[in-house]
Amino acid sequence: MEVKGTKEAFAQMLSERGVYKKLGVDRSTVANWKTYLKEGRSISLDKMEEMLLKYGASVVQEKVWKV
């Protein structure tokens, strides 16, 4: 499944039941991340990308910058 945006991909990943096992983190950590997203609090982009890669997700298109 293709999802646009790191935050959206992270949320999609967290919606999978038992994802904490794949990521090697505690259930409470995943619960905290879900709460942070729901409340609009920030999770670092680096952490989201790290967990997505651990999950097995891949980047379809690199970031494009115009300066």
Candidates 59, 46, 54, 66; CA nearest to 4 is: 59
The pLDDT of residue 3: 82
Quick: pLDDT tens for 15-58.
Answer: 999 999 999 999 999 999 999 999 999 999 999 999 999 999 99
The pLDDT of residue 55: 96
Quick: pLDDT tens for 11-25.
Answer: 999 999 999 999 999
The pLDDT of residue 24: 96
Are residues 30 and 14 in contact, defined by beta-carbon separation less than 8 angstroms? Answer: yes
